[in-house]
Amino acid sequence: MNDFQFQNTTKVYFGKDQLHYLHEEVLKYGDKVLVAHGGEFIKNSPLYTKVIHELESNGITVYELGAVEPNPRHTTVNRGVAMCKKYGIQTTLAIGGGSTIDCCKAIAATSLSETDNIWDLVEGKAIWKDALAVIAMPTIASTGSEMDKSCVIANVELGIKSGINGEPIRPKAAFLDPTNTFTVPARQTACGGFDIMAHLFDMNYFVNAEKYPLQFNVVETLLKTVRTQLPIAIKEPENYEARATMLWAASWALNSFCTSGFKTQASLHALEQFSSTMDLTHGLGLAIVMPKWMKYLLDKDDSVADDFARFGINVMGVKNSEDKKGVAYQTIEALQAFIKDELGLPVHLSELGLDGSHFDEMKVKACYGKDSLPRAYRPLTQEDCLNIYKMCL
Amino acid sequence: MNDFQFQNTTKVYFGKDQLHYLHEEVLKYGDKVLVAHGGEFIKNSPLYTKVIHELESNGITVYELGAVEPNPRHTTVNRGVAMCKKYGIQTTLAIGGGSTIDCCKAIAATSLSETDNIWDLVEGKAIWKDALAVIAMPTIASTGSEMDKSCVIANVELGIKSGINGEPIRPKAAFLDPTNTFTVPARQTACGGFDIMAHLFDMNYFVNAEKYPLQFNVVETLLKTVRTQLPIAIKEPENYEARATMLWAASWALNSFCTSGFKTQASLHALEQFSSTMDLTHGLGLAIVMPKWMKYLLDKDDSVADDFARFGINVMGVKNSEDKKGVAYQTIEALQAFIKDELGLPVHLSELGLDGSHFDEMKVKACYGKDSLPRAYRPLTQEDCLNIYKMCL
């Protein structure tokens, strides 16, 4: 096992009756809070009314930042920074998905820096060492940003998604209420759930090194649990136990226990450039590319057969046999069927009316502008990426 | 899923090359540290020399508290408290097992209270709200005290083991170096490992309520991993991966992720009164009583058969069949054989030359002085406890 350091300080309030702790958490830092959300859907929800009441009835002044985009823009972050600096706000509260939480993290760091522009932090032009308090209230089980210390921001002018990473922006508290995810439509539930699975695949399950029994087995168990519970959450949107399992799994897929000691470069998250170039939902991009990536690797490299077969047998319910390569192909078919039939997601870009006109741009981004991803589960060149993208058409 | 709150702030430095971070952690709180250990074995170890050098070469003054007992005594805690108050010490550093860590936690809390006697805190006669910093350096994979916020102290005069519990005594940092556990003899390795398994059984696996898929599946995976790795650690004491897995598993068995949402009363830890009355090692007491507890329940209550069979099939490698009760009995036999043959531990008190003269005292303690344990996996009366103890002879 490689040496590692682990700490996750976020205080989690989990369940349907925890909101009354919110004002205590906010008042630890001050009596002014920026509440960020994605727009009318949240603003008109009973949750929003309850949150504002909980805050204002405890003497907290609320400043509102609405219209935070999916893939939040750096200009939106800067709008929040201006408010925090102008009004002396001490805490940012995100109500929404990973994008809203990431936006709040970016605002929190920039507000205590010398610049008013998050992109100066992203590019290392300005130093940041501290941040306003961040509190997260996720309304979808997906990114796990609520217990994580990084954020991703989109610079539309430059066509780049990038971010910052550091302990001060890890949420001080996270309020995880499964009932807040009841209204998430089937499609978004599926995409969020696949994002959880992709975190587990990418950072911990398909590794280019020795598998550590503890972390690896736990990751496989989380995968199996999500594989079972996600279709229930899709079919029965108000099934509390399924929603609760998904919400807690999202946090655990990214809270760095599972990655402790692992150092593999992510493959799927590198390949998933559909969201930044075609405005696809991140989880959908992952679901489209993953089975193709697996097939591409398996076609040319027998050494992946054992890992893929193990995944098939232990997670996807594929029957074991002596022909590991055969089992591995069946695993890919089972995954494709799971995505199509149980998650109800498209499996080809053509189903969405999309073509390959962005592929050349995407293959460069996938390799972070370099020739290849050398430390991924299996190294990928730009040409490999392009070939995989073509399989997605 | 029941509502719950979760936070675990301990910073873990895991691996063989982390000791150079120790002085940074200590200097966050001050330049005087109380180093507690169990005695000559630790004091003469290369680890101790390295720790003292790391501290003193960074300008930190070391005060030593040796001879901390297994089941640490309240008088030893008070000895440490007197030193901390006299010298204005800011941090307690435990090098040793759970007992040494627990002793440091008790010292840390008492030192910032109005009394000089830990037992006043245990009995609620003195209030404590804060504590000196605690840093843990476990030398055995066992109690998980290094990421936990409670401690158990023995009052020999009263014949009671009890403790305190609160966020301020959770270690600020834990240094988990698997090589520090290489010298743990086979017997202690086995007892420590069984203690880990007992935490998992007791708090999360044999539950008297609905099983939550995520936490339950993770617990089962941890059990299976320990069941596999522990015999390796016993046979190959310098197997780094096995020792690393055990050490990280110990922390995770008790760091409250696995218990999130569960509220079952512990059965095994209640029944394990052998250590307080006969001075048996805690883990050995657990290993002796567990198979008898299972057999006692299964003999009189068919409703446990499915749970026991699942444990047998998924953890102990017992073959599945339609006769769940038969599988459950085979599971108990497999567990008994595992304890005897793979862990090398005695399975009856008579093997240790011990008799039942303490049983009447133990049955009362097991029920915390009440008639029964009503919220355990299956409720146990004092008479049930006595019957189980008799099976241990």
In order, the DSSP letters of B175-241 are EE-GGGGTTS-HHHHHHHHHHHHHHHIIIIIS-SSPPPHHHHHHHHHHHHHHHHHHHHHHH-TT-HH
Set of chain B residues whose Cβ sits within 8 Å of the Cβ of A8: 8
CB-CB under 8 Å, B14 with A4: yes
pLDDT per position as a tens digit, A243-262: 999 999 999 988 788 888 88
CB-CB under 8 Å, B240 with A217: no
pLDDT per position as a tens digit, A259-271: 888 877 899 999 9
Query: Is residue B382 within 8 angstroms of chain A, CB to CB?
Result: no
- Which range (B48-52, B70-74, B170-174) has the least confidence? B70-74
Query: Is residue A13 within 8 angstroms of chain B, CB to CB?
Result: yes
Query: Is residue A214 within 8 angstroms of chain B, CB to CB?
Result: yes
Mean pLDDT of A341-354: 97
pLDDT per position as a tens digit, A195-224: 999 999 998 899 888 888 899 999 999 999
- Among chain A residues, the shortest Cα distance to B250 is held by A214
Say which amino acid occupies A4.
F
Catalogue all structural domains in chain A, each as residue range(s) with its CATH number.
11-181 (3.40.50.1970), 189-391 (1.20.1090.10)
pLDDT per position as a tens digit, A20-60: 999 999 999 999 999 999 999 999 999 999 999 999 999 99
In this complex, the residue of A15, A252, A260 whose CB is nearest that of residue B14 is A260
Contacts of B247 (CB under 8 A, 6+ apart): B14, B138, B141, B176, B178, B181
Set of chain B residues whose Cβ sits within 8 Å of the Cβ of A15: 1-4
Calpha distance A163→A109 (Å, rounded): 11
Chain B (356-375) residues lying within 8 Å, Cβ to Cβ, of chain A: none
Contacts of B20 (CB under 8 A, 6+ apart): B54
| Residue of A135, A112, A177, A142 lying closest to A10 (CA atoms) | A135
Looking at chain A, the whole-number percentage of residues with pLDDT higher than 70 is 100
In this predicted structure, what is the pLDDT of residue B263?
79
Q: Mean pLDDT score of chain B, rounded to an integer?
A: 95
Optimal mutation site among B176, B214, B230, interface A, most CBs of chain A within 10 A: B214
Query: Is the CB of residue A69 less than 8 Å from the CB of residue A40?
Result: no
pLDDT per position as a tens digit, B287-321: 999 999 999 999 999 999 999 999 999 999 999 99
Calpha distance B280→B130 (Å, rounded): 33
Query: Is the CB of residue A173 less than 8 Å from the CB of residue A13?
Result: yes
At A59 the three-state DSSP class reads: coil
Say if residue A152's pLDDT is above 90.
yes
Mean pLDDT of B22-45: 96
pLDDT per position as a tens digit, B195-230: 999 999 998 899 888 888 899 999 999 999 999 999
Query: Is residue B48 within 8 angstroms of chain A, CB to CB?
Result: no
Tokens encoding A255: 């809270």
Set of chain A residues whose Cβ sits within 8 Å of the Cβ of B222: 214, 217-218
CB-CB under 8 Å, B8 with A14: no
DSSP H helical segments within chain A, as ranges?
Answer: 22-27, 40-43, 46-56, 74-87, 98-111, 118-122, 186-200, 213-235, 240-254, 268-271, 274-278, 282-300, 305-314, 324-337, 359-366, 382-391
Query: Is residue A222 within 8 angstroms of chain B, CB to CB?
Result: yes
Contacts of B45 (CB under 8 A, 6+ apart): B183
Set of chain B residues whose Cβ sits within 8 Å of the Cβ of A5: 11-14, 18
Query: Is residue A216 within 8 angstroms of chain B, CB to CB?
Result: no
Set of chain B residues whose Cβ sits within 8 Å of the Cβ of A6: 11-12, 14
The CA distance from A142 to the nearest CA of chain B, in Å, is 16
- How far from chain centre, in Å, is Cα A194? 9
DSSP string, A255-266: SSSTTTT--PBP
pLDDT per position as a tens digit, B218-270: 999 999 999 999 999 999 999 999 999 999 999 998 878 888 888 778 999 99
Calpha distance A236→A241 (Å, rounded): 10
At B317 the three-state DSSP class reads: coil
In this predicted structure, what is the pLDDT of residue B254?
84
In this complex, the residue of B3, B210, B245 whose CB is nearest that of residue A17 is B3
pLDDT per position as a tens digit, A59-79: 999 999 999 998 899 999 999
Q: Which residues pair with A152 in a beta bridge?
A: A163
Set of chain B residues whose Cβ sits within 8 Å of the Cβ of A7: 9-12
Query: Is residue A249 within 8 angstroms of chain B, CB to CB?
Result: yes
Query: Is residue A350 within 8 angstroms of chain B, CB to CB?
Result: no
CB-CB under 8 Å, A218 with B224: no
Set of chain B residues whose Cβ sits within 8 Å of the Cβ of A220: 221
In this predicted structure, what is the pLDDT of residue A274?
94
Mean pLDDT of B60-86: 96
Set of chain B residues whose Cβ sits within 8 Å of the Cβ of A215: 248
- Among chain A residues, the shortest Cα distance to B240 is held by A1
In this predicted structure, what is the pLDDT of residue B154?
92
In this predicted structure, what is the pLDDT of residue A108?
98
In this predicted structure, what is the pLDDT of residue B209?
83
Say if residue A343's pLDDT is above 90.
yes
In this predicted structure, what is the pLDDT of residue B276?
83
CB-CB under 8 Å, B244 with A1: yes
Higher pLDDT, A20 or B156: A20
- Among chain B residues, the shortest Cα distance to A171 is held by B7
Indicate left, alpha or beta for B39 from its phi (over 0: left) and psi (-120 to 50: alpha): left
Mean pLDDT of B157-168: 91
Set of chain A residues whose Cβ sits within 8 Å of the Cβ of B217: 221-222, 224-225
pLDDT per position as a tens digit, B316-366: 999 999 999 999 999 999 999 999 999 999 999 999 999 999 999 999 999
Query: Is the CB of residue A268 less than 8 Å from the CB of residue A201?
Result: yes
In this predicted structure, what is the pLDDT of residue B256?
81
In this predicted structure, what is the pLDDT of residue B365?
93
The CA distance from B5 to the nearest CA of chain A, in Å, is 5
Say if residue A161's pLDDT is above 90.
no
Optimal mutation site among A3, A149, A251, interface B, most CBs of chain B within 10 A: A3
